[in-house]
Amino acid sequence: MKKFTLAAVAAALVGSMVPASADHTIPLLSYRTGPYAPNGIPYADGVTDYINMINARDGGVGGVPINLIECETGYNTERGVECYESTKGQGALVYFPLSTGITYQLIPKATADDIPIHSMGYGRTSAADGNTFSHVFNFPGTYWDAASIIIKHMMDMEGGSLEGKKVALVYHNSAYGKEPIRTLEELSKKHGYELLLLPVDHPGQEQKSTWLQVRKEKPDFVTMWGWGVMNQVAISEAASIRFPMDRFIGVWWSASENDVLPAGDKSDGYKAIAMNRPGTDFGAYRDIQKHVIDAGNAAGAGDQVGTILYSRGMLNAAYMVEAIRTAQKIHGAADITPGMMRDGLENLKIDQARWTEMGFDNFTSTIDVTCENHGGPGLGAIQQWDASSKTWSLITDFVGADRDVVDALIEADASAYAAENNISGHCK
Amino acid sequence: MFYREAGDFKTSYQSDQATFTLRLDKILFWGLMAIATFIVPFFVTEYWEKSVFLPFFIYSIAALGLNILTGYCGQVSLGTGGFMAVGAYASFKLMTGIPNLDMFLVIMIAGLVTALVGVLFGLPSLRIKGFYLAVATLASQFFLVWLFNKWEWSYNYSPTGQINAPTRDFLGIDVTGPSTAPWATYLFCLGLLFIFAWITRNLVRGHIGRSWMAIRDMDIAAEIIGVNPLIAKLSAFAVSSFFIGVAGALYFSVWLGAAEPTEAFAIDKSFDVLFMIIIGGLGSILGSMIGAAFIILLPIFFKNVLVGYCGIPTDIAEFTQIIFIGALIIFFLIKEPHGIVAYWRTLKEKLRLWPFPY
């Protein structure tokens, strides 16, 4: 009995300390330091500039400005938890930690706290099953979609069949890097290629032995799930053993300028999967230039504008802004709560006409989130690096994943999680 | 004037050998404990629980464990991260394998499993010393992390190797899982830290502790006067690993709720805990806690001051923080090689003589 009173008092104290905020509070869990900073910085800059542009151009969403709180995680889960706890009390609407490890950490906690998580093309793949993961969204695509699309591209290069070929996966030895393994194994059964697994330990600066193995085993293709300095080291090592670059295909997190530039001309022809078009010829970029950069408010050093990960940060921020708008429409209120934000994310619909209005004409795939499907369309295109002009360009259209294989795996993993945690499913 | 033995008469051996011989010390300690137990839980918020108290308590237990081995028995170990991983994975297997087991028992059994593993990796200490032993324990660090990365049974065949703590209770009160009350986990970890500090205090002034210190000071002389190095060294490894295993189990199950071996239990964990005891004070219980506070809480304090109050960009604040802490470590190591706890000892000595120092 005494314990219950104690709990009640404690709960009352915590409750009374949450300030009522007039702004839309969005925490930005970023990493501008450490071995993952080469990828963390452009992403954080993209998010920040886009949100600042929305505040400057439209005065926020529905008349309510967005308050972006940045918190440095260093890609470390302990510090990610510290950031989550320190920003949660300020009325955080949504979390996007840009780290699979931190996402795993936050899934049960944020669900219990009724705060949504948007892990855009990272995090736990089976969170695409919205029936089990009510508060987690990973549209526009999952790791398993990416793995399947990469294999499809390899098949196209080989004239339709991977029978008897050898595919190597160079991956970050963590939950992030291990995500695609199960899909690649399933697909290897289906298409008859041999899968070679080559883990690289954190932080990934030492890969001599990995690439020695590649040279020895002579795989026909290498795909990579890398992040941070690991990407640039892998591409340089691949160049140094003269692995044909057009047969080296990275996931969308191993696809930025900062990854290929250190290898210089030798990285020419490196491929990666993309979830958005490269380049800066979009209305949103012009607005950022006008309202943020020309006003002298560019985030960070301002040198990342226009890069792949900067664009992806903008895209992530654009999803968030549109979700706030959707939430406001559903609930008929300008001020929204994290719970309303979750509804906004779950009913997010962006067709190409709307994308064009938002200044992202022909930029990325259509979004249609439903209660059951939090994983989005799962489309991806292949982009290739041209070292002489220092630009990425798309070499295929946006294509879909092998839904039979991917959906069955998502179903299996999500139902295992539901059984472990007694989740009955929240969709009718 | 007020902090001295005068008038504080001891009439039995028991009171003469008490932990706190000065009345004021005793009052201060129990007063602090009373505040921590009966007042703080009413005010503890989730931020203070998850970012300040739990990490402090858990790293204090780990530092106590390593201090037993390194500070009291003189065996340098770089395997702390690996042993924490054993505790974490043992608790995970127990929590998922026997769902009704009380969390206190889970933590204790996880500690025992780690003690066994610790004894196993302590065996080389009978033949090798100093830096060479450090290298041998380094092997355990890498081996254990590799094992939990490879051995699918240890993480219940999850596709990513990530382990997640389900909701479990201690005497009917939830202490793990996503919806625990801050006061519950706070009191649970505080209680465990109190128990372990009490055990350490009584171990190190008894027969076993004396044999550890004899081995530390000169192992050949200790052997000649009748200390069995096999028992002394292995018992130090067992007790130390038990503590570290408990810390690892709490780290994973109560504090974070999820872990993956390569990130959570990497070599930097071992170094962090070793730095804690070196900076706090080797062979000191209070030193272990001061060291844990220094390494864990100071960065959070700096972050909150620099970003929260001064509004400095996060990356610059981070680098400033690293420079500050690095400079402080160098400062303390030069000015006080016996750790920050030595300042506390000097202060107490000075207080006893104040205001008439001779």
ipTM of this predicted structure: 0.88
**C-beta atoms of A13 and B300 within 8 A:** no
pLDDT given for residue A30 in this prediction:
92
Band (pLDDT 50/70/90 cuts) for residue A3 is very low
**C-beta atoms of B257 and A77 within 8 A:** no
CB < 8 Å to B47, chain A: 85-86, 88-89
pLDDT given for residue B224 in this prediction:
94
Q: If you average pLDDT over residues A83-89, what whole number do you get?
A: 90
pLDDT digits (tens, 9 = 90+) for A112-151: 999 999 999 898 998 999 999 999 999 888 999 999 999 9
Q: How many CB atoms lie within 10 A of CB A305?
A: 21
Give contacts of A 82-121 with B, CB under 8 A: 82, 85-86, 88-89, 100-101, 104-105, 108-109, 111-113
> What gap in Å lies between CA A418 and CA A399, rounded to an integer?
30
Q: A12 pLDDT exceeds 50? A: no
Listed residue (A200, A195, A239, A36) closest to A122, CA to CA: A36
| Block residue for tokens 């919205």 | A130
Chain B residue with minimal CA distance to A300?
A: B313
CB of A67 closer than 8 Å to CB of A21: yes
| Block residue for tokens 């629980």 | B49
Cα A33 to chain centroid distance, Å, stands at: 19
Q: If you average pLDDT over residues B186-197, what whole number do you get?
A: 95
**C-beta atoms of B51 and A112 within 8 A:** no
CB < 8 Å to B164, chain A: 104, 108, 420
B84 CA: distance to closest CA in chain A (Å): 15
pLDDT digits (tens, 9 = 90+) for B277-335: 999 999 999 999 999 999 999 999 988 888 888 888 888 888 998 999 899 989 988 98
**C-beta atoms of B160 and A178 within 8 A:** yes
Please report, for residues A128, A408, A411, A426, A428, the alpha-carbon distance to residue A415 in angstroms, rounded to integers and kept in the order given. Answer: 12, 11, 6, 13, 16
Tokens in use for B322?
A: 């690293």
Q: B124 pLDDT exceeds 90? A: no
CB < 8 Å to A81, chain B: 50-51, 256
A357–chain B Cβ distance below 8 A for any pair: no
Angle in degrees, CA A76, A81, A86, rounded to 5: 125
A222 CA: distance to closest CA in chain B (Å): 20
A361 SS3 class: coil
pLDDT given for residue A423 in this prediction:
85
Output DSSP code: residue A175.
H
Percent of chain B clearing pLDDT 70 (strictly above): 99
CB < 8 Å to A72, chain B: 303, 307, 314-315, 317-318
B99–chain A Cβ distance below 8 A for any pair: no
Mutant choice from A102, A178, A197, A422 vs B, greatest count of B C-beta within 10 A: A178
pLDDT digits (tens, 9 = 90+) for B222-275: 999 999 999 999 999 999 999 999 999 999 999 998 898 888 898 999 999 999
Q: A7 pLDDT exceeds 50? A: no
Output DSSP code: residue A308.
H
Mutant choice from A52, A73, A82 vs B, greatest count of B C-beta within 10 A: A82
**A390 burial class (0-12, 13-18, 19+ CB within 10 angstroms)?**
exposed
pLDDT given for residue B1 in this prediction:
56
Q: Name the average pLDDT for chain B.
A: 90
**C-beta atoms of A202 and B177 within 8 A:** no
Which parts of chain B fold into alpha helices (H)?
13-16, 23-34, 40-43, 46-48, 54-66, 80-97, 103-122, 130-150, 182-204, 207-217, 219-224, 229-250, 261-264, 267-280, 285-292, 298-303, 314-335, 341-353
Q: Name the average pLDDT for chain A.
A: 88
Chain B residue with minimal CA distance to A105?
A: B258
**C-beta atoms of B258 and A104 within 8 A:** yes
Q: If you average pLDDT over residues B28-33, what whole number do you get?
A: 92
Q: If you average pLDDT over residues B174-190, what whole number do you get?
A: 90
Dmax over CA atoms of chain B, in Å, equals 69
CB < 8 Å to A85, chain B: 46-47, 50-51
Q: How many CB atoms lie within 10 A of CB B119?
A: 17
Residues ≥6 apart with Cβ < 8 Å to A411: A129
Q: A320 pLDDT exceeds 70? A: yes
**C-beta atoms of A174 and B260 within 8 A:** yes
Domain residue spans in chain B? Answer: 48-265
CB < 8 Å to A111, chain B: 178
**C-beta atoms of A72 and B181 within 8 A:** no
Domains and CATH numbers, chain A: 21-142+279-378+408-420 (3.40.50.2300), 143-275+380-406 (3.40.50.2300)
Select the residue of B47, B257, B266 nearest A105 (Cβ to Cβ): B257
**C-beta atoms of B262 and A78 within 8 A:** no
Give contacts of A 21-50 with B, CB under 8 A: 30, 32-33, 37, 41
pLDDT digits (tens, 9 = 90+) for B137-172: 999 999 999 999 888 898 888 878 888 888 888 988
Q: How many CB atoms lie within 10 A of CB B122?
A: 27
The strand pair at A221-225 and A271-274 is best described as unpaired
Q: A9 pLDDT exceeds 70? A: no
Torsion of CA A51, A352, A327, A338, to 10 degrees: -50
Select the residue of A6, A85, A182 nearest B46 (Cβ to Cβ): A85
Q: A227 pLDDT exceeds 60? A: yes
Q: A219 pLDDT exceeds 80? A: yes
pLDDT given for residue A17 in this prediction:
41
CB < 8 Å to A175, chain B: 160-162, 260
B325–chain A Cβ distance below 8 A for any pair: no
Q: If you average pLDDT over residues A217-246, what whole number do you get?
A: 93
CB < 8 Å to B51, chain A: 81-82, 85-86
Q: If you average pLDDT over residues A363-386, what whole number do you get?
A: 90
Q: If you average pLDDT over residues A378-389, what whole number do you get?
A: 92
pLDDT given for residue A132 in this prediction:
92
Q: How many CB atoms lie within 10 A of CB B323?
A: 10
pLDDT given for residue A13 in this prediction:
39
pLDDT digits (tens, 9 = 90+) for B83-104: 999 999 999 999 988 888 999 9
Percent of chain A clearing pLDDT 90 (strictly above): 63
**C-beta atoms of B314 and A86 within 8 A:** no
Select the residue of B50, B177, B257 nearest A85 (Cβ to Cβ): B50
Q: If you average pLDDT over residues A182-194, what whole number do you get?
A: 92
pLDDT given for residue B262 in this prediction:
86
**C-beta atoms of A74 and B318 within 8 A:** yes
**C-beta atoms of B263 and A112 within 8 A:** no
Cα A144 to chain centroid distance, Å, stands at: 13
* pTM of the shown model: 0.90
pLDDT given for residue A4 in this prediction:
41
**C-beta atoms of A9 and B173 within 8 A:** no
Chain B residue with minimal CA distance to A173?
A: B262
Q: B3 pLDDT exceeds 80? A: no
Q: If you average pLDDT over residues B192-202, what whole number do you get?
A: 95
